[in-house]
Each structure stands twice: as structure tokens, then as C-alpha cells.
Chains A and B, each alone.
Chain A
Amino acid sequence: MAIDERLAAERAGKQRQASFELALEATAGDGGARGAGAALQRASLWRDALQRFRANRAAVIAAIAFLVLLAFVIFVPWLSHEDPYAVDFSQAYQNPSWAHPFGTDEFGRDLFVRVALGGRVSIAIGFAATFAIMGVGITYGSISGFIGGKLDNGMMRFLDALYGLPYLPFAILTLAIFGTVNFWTMVVALTIASWFTTARVMRGQIITLKENDYVRAAHAVGARWYRVLFRHLLPNTLGVIIIFVFLELPGVVLGEAFLSFIGLGINPPKASWGTLAQDGYGAYQTHPYLIVIPSLMIAWLILSAFFVADGLRDALDPRAREF
């Protein structure tokens, strides 16, 4: 008898004792039982996390700072009437003033706008490289963790070997091989030796999640591997992934700044904070603002991203639940 027929038969008048009790519970128990030991499970996972995040003052300040920075780099070049590329030697080396809040450089270009534009480049590279790192890391780690066995062993041994690669020299090497430094080559260079930790963490997550009964349940009803991976495993790693994005971002931004500073920065006239700093290095004794300001911007980004990551980690950690 198929389920529908059975249901029809029983609805045709069989007295079901069970349904009385269960129906009672269904209607009566809408709010969660909040006994002494039960955590407040009512709020959705995300809403709960958001509330915890908002309660963390440092994280909120950092998030605001991050957003302010983003607003700065997005809106300032758009709204300003200063031409960042106009060369005007009469204006060169002006200290910060009302007309030029960040001063001007040796070519008389307004630093305020240049820093904002440079910010766009730095942040764009930062996000692009971060997503590239995520992409490679998640793929590698998921395959390794999901398939397991000898393949996992092999992939992890290989990863262990890769860990030995020094990150910056390899980035430099990559740029040298490419011959030119533009947005994409920079992204590749920064990604090449930075995805290892992400891969390892993702693998760990997948392996842990695999043990959950709901994964077994999916197998038990005949789900194919791709469904298990994409519907059951990966969505439950979202929290970790988001945290990692904010953790990796500072690293790549700093990496790009460093590479730029040693001369491997993006080619002019495009500028990033790193190249701006490098430009200003020569004059740092007389006009320190030329190097200090871009460096402060970098620090701002790194610190805010880092504290947001920290706050997110606390917010999403179920053990940090208050009573």
C-alpha cells in the first residue's frame, strides 16, 4: 500500500491516540523550552551570530572602520574634481591643507584622490587574491577531505611539502616569470603560495562534517556524491569561509604593499597604496606625509579586517553561547 492510500484509509475515521498528544504538543509548544540547561535555540543561527557580533564593541568599531574605508575609496574619486593625473609642478610638495587634505606629491598631484584611487587598486587586488585563494584552497581541501583515503593522504603530503615554500620569494619569482606587473599577475603572484592553510582548514571541516548523521542519511536515501558535497557539506562550511575571507585579506594587502614597495608594484600611472608609499619613500625626511599616509591606510585596512574576522569568529562559535 502506498503512503497516500494508507493515509486516506486512516483519515477515514481511525482513532489515532497518538495524534492527540502529538497535536497538543505541536500547537502548545511553539516557543522553545527554556530550562536552565537549554541554550536559547530559538533565534536563527545567523541572527544569533549577528547579535553576538553587535555586542562585541571592538568588532563593531572595526566593521564601521572597514565600511568607512570602503566608502572613502569608492566615493572620493567619484566626487572630487581634482584630476589625479594632472601634473602641476607649481603645486608640488604641498603639505596637507584644506585644499589638499593629504597634500600633493612631487608632480603636484592631489594625494587625497590618489590615495583613494590607490585604495581601489589595493582593495581590488586584495579581494581578488583572497577569492582566488579561497577558490583554490576550498577546491583542494574539499576534494581531499571528501574523497579521503589514499588520495587524501597523498594530497596532504603534497601540501605539507608546499608549506615549505616561502611566500614572498615565490611571489617575486612569479612576477619575474610573468615579466610584467598588472592586476592579474599580481593576483596570481599573491595567491600562489598563500592558499595552503585554507586548504587544510577546509579539509578538516569537511572531514568533521562528514561524520554527521545527516550525511549518512543522505547516503542512505541514495544521494550521489555531488549532492552530498554541494548540498550538505559545503553550505555548512559557510561560517568558516567567511571568517577566512576576512583573515586572508590583510595578508594579501600587506603582501601587495610589500611587493610594491620593493619596486615590483603595479605599473604607473595606476597606483596602489604600496606604490604610493614607494613613491613617497624618497622624500620621507622632508615630506613624511607622502609615505606615512598610504601606510596608515594599509594599517587601517588590515586592522579593521582583522578585528572583524576576530569578531566573526567569536560570533559564530557555538561554544561562546551565553546562558
Chain B
Amino acid sequence: MALLEVDDLRTYFPTREGEVHAVDGVSFKLEERKTLGIVGESGCGKSVTALSIMGLIQTPGRVVSGSVHFDGKELTNLKRREIEDIRGLEIGMIFQDPMTSLNPTLTIGTQITETLRRHLDLSRKEARKRAVDLLEEVHIPNASRRLDDYPHRYSGGMRQRVMIAMAISCNPKLLIADEPTTALDVTVQAGVLDLLEELRQEHAMAMIIITHNMGVVAETADDIAVMYAGQIVEQATALDLFDRPEHPYTEALLGALPKLDEPDARNARLASIPGRPPDLLSPPEACRFAPRCKYAGTDDCATVPPELREIRSGHWVRSAHPASERAREPVAVS
């Protein structure tokens, strides 16, 4: 049994104009000590997936159906108190913007020890000692002195490290990082990613990294799930996904990435994807990517939503025209 099993998760948000199908049937498995990268552009539902797992979806949004099986427990029907017990202790989460994720009126020390004492029942002294250890683990110099500083005295990268320290403080089995590097400079970003990898090995954690940056996912993930319009459209090991991407969207994403080592980058054109993601208010009864797909023809693409199928061992695709099945030349969109 995998550490985390998500099955057909659906999370909808009611609005004035109808229900937004933010997450519409997402399933995946995560083994212990492995890293899953969930990648997609803004609005695809990746963050909402993570929040749904953690039980952090605020009303009026709600998890409509599906199951989240973590360490043998079903999370979707837990009471608030029970899920709060799990949060922090068994599943840690770090968020995107380190500037706003920390309370500016409390010292860093208070914020860390608060989490510790909530879950681990430590005395004040023990908690403080542990907090210092944590800060050292995330490579913050002068840890014991910095413990009494307020967040504004920390730089963005350091705040992110503090967030990571808080997230791993109770030795969770799973760490979810939602766009952990997006607000950071590229060198700081690399530092944070390297740190996450180091900690993952030290603490034998599983990790989910959510990002829109394919490069980040390439460097850190064992397996990757590509999301589009609330659904997973491709899922494979990192190596296989980059070697042989199947879904037209994945290919397009990879083509749109400016590459560092591109020959004649100056004159090359980036592959861009025309159009915009569909309206999740009433998702079409068809392939959601079809309007923007180079290969969508007059066939089923416009009428039949494709299922996620295993095209080869460990590699799943939701498309009627995966790369390895394309016998003909791409057809221009009519």
C-alpha cells in the first residue's frame, strides 16, 4: 500500500455563476521516500489538489468526491480536529509566498515552538532547543540568536527555509511544497531545492513538489504528473517524461521553455500554445486540450473526453493522440 493514494479526487467551488470544477478527477499514488512533481500552469488545479489533501479547502469550496488515503487512514471524512492532528505531525506543507506565510508580529522562535508544542507535547525549554536544531538543519547561521528575530529581519530565501523548518519540525512522513521556489531568485531557489532534497533523505520523507517550472521538477522529482484544466493529462517517471513525452500539452510545455544550452537561441522561436485554458465553470464534454492542440482533428477529440490510459509501463496519458501513436503529420487547427 503506497503512503499516499489519491483516487478520483474532485474539488468544486460554487460561485455566483455556477460551480468551478477546480480539481476534476485526479488520482495518483506516492510511495514512501519518493518525490512526486505536479506540474502545470496557473489555474490547472495543482494547488487546490494539495489543499484538498490537507483538508484546507475553505467553504464554500469543498471536496465533492474521491478519496485520499494516507498511511492507511482515509482523510476525506475526518473531523476538523482529527485532520488538524495530522497536519503538521504527519503531513507538512510549505506555501508559495514566504513573505506572507509568516506572522509578522511573532518571533520566528514563537512560531516554530508553537507547532512543536501543539503536536509533540514538549516543555518550553525542550521546544526551544529543538527549534534551534531545526534552524541549524536548514542552514540558518547563528540559529539561537536568530530565533528571537522577527520575520522582517529575514530575507526571502531564509524565510522559506524557516517555513521548511516548521514543516519538518515534527518529522512528517510527507512534505508538500506548493511552488516553494516561485517567489525566489534563481540562486536562492537552487539552495532551497538542494535543501529539500537533503532533508528528504535525512528524514526519509516522501515529497510532493508543485510548480509550473519544468526545470524545477526535472531536478527534484522521481515521478511527474502534468495537470491541465483540473485533470492529470500525463504521468510518468521523470526520466521517461522528459525523454519521451506523450501528451501534446507536455510537448508544448517543453517546447515553450527557453533553454540554457540551446544552439542559436537568439534566432529560435519558442513553441507557444495558442488559446487559453478552458472555462472550468462548465468543462466541455470533450478533450479539454483539444481547442489548443495541434493534432486534434475532426475525430473524437471534440466529443469524447479521453481517459487516462497506460501507454507503456508506468507511463499514463490522457490523449487520443499521444506522441508514440502519431502516424501522421500534425494537422493545422481548422
**Chain A interface residues (CB < 8 Å from chain B):** 17, 20-22, 24-25, 28-29, 31-38, 40, 51, 322-323
Contact = CB atoms under 8 A, between A and B. Distances in A.
Given A28-B276, A28-B291, A36 B45 contact: yes
A17 B60 CA distance: 44
A17 B272 CA distance: 11
Contacts of B280: 34-36
B275 A25 contact: yes
Contact count band on B:
20 to 34
B43 A37 contact: yes
Interface of B: 11, 13, 15-17, 20, 22-23, 42-45, 47-48, 60-61, 229-230, 269, 272, 274-281, 291, 333
Contacts of A37: 42-43, 47-48
Q: Which of A24, A25, A28, A323 has the most CB of B within 10 A?
A: A323
Contacts of A33: 43, 276-279
Minimum-distance CB pairs A-B, first 8: A35-B43, A36-B22, A24-B274, A21-B274, A29-B276, A323-B13, A33-B276, A36-B48
A36 B281 CA distance: 9
A55 to B, nearest CB: 9
A36 B51 CA distance: 12
Contacts of A34: 20, 43, 279-281
Contacts of B229: 35
B297 to A, nearest CB: 17
Contact of A35 (B11, B42, B333): B42
Contacts of B15: 40, 322-323
Given A36-B20, A36-B43, A40-B17, A24 B275 contact: yes
What's the dominant secondary structure at chain A's contact region? loop
B277 A35 contact: yes
A15 to B, nearest CB: 13
Contacts of B16: 40, 51, 322
B-side binding surface: helix, strand, loop or mixed? loop
Contacts of B278: 33
A31 B18 CA distance: 15
A24 B273 CA distance: 10
B277 A36 contact: no
Contacts of B20: 34, 36, 323
Nearest to B11: A36
30 contacts: A17-B269, A21-B272, A22-B274, A24-B274, A25-B274, A25-B276, A31-B279, A32-B279, A33-B278, A34-B20, A34-B280, A34-B281, A35-B42, A35-B44, A35-B280, A36-B11, A36-B13, A36-B20, A36-B22, A36-B43, A36-B45, A36-B280, A37-B43, A38-B42, A38-B43, A40-B16, A322-B16, A323-B13, A323-B15, A323-B61
A37 to B, nearest CB: 5
Contacts of B230: 36
Contacts of A38: 42-43
B60 A28 contact: no
A210 B326 CA distance: 54
B79 to A, nearest CB: 24
Contacts of A17: 269
Contacts of B44: 35-36
A322 B14 CA distance: 9
Contacts of A40: 15-17
Contacts of A31: 279
A95 B277 CA distance: 70
A34 to B, nearest CB: 5
Contacts of B291: 28
Contacts of A24: 274-275, 333
A28 B275 contact: yes
